[in-house]
Amino acid sequence: QVQLVQSGSELKKPGASVKVSCKASGYTFTDYGINWVRQAPGQGLEWMGWINTNTWNPTYAQGFTGRFVFSLDTSVSTALLQISSLKAEDTAVYYCARSNRDALDFWGPGTMVSVSS
Amino acid sequence: DIQMTQSPSSLSASVGDRVTITCRASQSISSYLNWYQQKPGEAPKLLIYTASSLQSGVPSRFSGSGSGTDFTLTISSLQPEDFATYYCQQSDSTLWTFGQGTEVEIK
């Protein structure tokens, strides 16, 4: 069965960096893209962008350029999200999700990133 | 970016009610519109893709319709497990966007 397993919660200080992982299983990793979605506390869903697991080409939504980097480790079917120069407003749950037929059909459980001094 | 606007932002309904949520796109998105359900503390779940196709395993009381700029999610007979927040999302453009969500509460 398709599964996306994400890394655990993180508590970081402002200015630090964080890397969130998303390990896929149950399907051929390079057949589907991986998307990232942010949800701040009590807020809605924001699509951050996606990475093509064949070409490694990332696409970033407006507001997620510069400090946000999508990458892959295809040897272990894992997608990575790195956020640098963390700010308090980056505090959120970060989800990875598989894209299939122009929709997000399987989601990871989410990773809570908290930024506080 | 294409803006997605849902209405209402929240609604109260009773078990057995027919519920309709609308989603409007700022420009035509053909049928590239998906609907998700999210319960507190859980990841979103895909309900409907390409406006009207029911995702595998989703109960048939959920249905979607529309094309162009105006779309609808209908729950034909609301069940206790349907109380949740619902999001529309467009995948027509290179940059995808979500609506702001509609919270369905118990009356």
What pLDDT is recorded for position A30?
A: 95
Chain A residues inside the 8 Å CB shell of B46? 103-105
pLDDT at A101 over 90: no
Judge whether residue B107 has pLDDT over 90.
no
The rounded mean pLDDT for chain B is 97
Q: Residue A72: what pLDDT?
A: 97
Mean pLDDT within B33-41:
98
- What is the DSSP-derived secondary structure letter of residue B12? E
Tell me the per-residue pLDDT of A12-44, one tens digit each, with 9 for 90 and over.
999 999 999 999 999 999 999 999 999 999 999
What secondary structure letter does DSSP report for A9? P
Find chain A residues with C-beta within 8 A of B36's C-beta.
Answer: 45, 104
The shortest C-alpha distance from B29 to chain A (Å) reads 12
pLDDT for residue A84: 98
- Give B84's contacts in chain A (Cβ within 8 Å): none
From B1, B49, B98, residue closest to A62, measured CB to CB = B1
- pLDDT-derived band at B31 (thresholds 50, 70, 90) equals very high
Q: Do B47 and A107 contact (CB within 8 A), yes or no?
A: no
Question: Are the C-beta atoms of B73 and B89 separated by less than 8 Å?
Answer: no
Nearest to A104 among B46, B94, B95 (CB): B46
CB contact under 8 A, B49 and A108: no
Average pLDDT in chain A: 97
Minimal CA separation from B36 to chain A, in Å? 9
Task: Determine how many CB atoms are found less than 10 A away from the CB of residue B29.
Answer: 22
Kindly state the percentage of chain A with pLDDT values over 70. 100
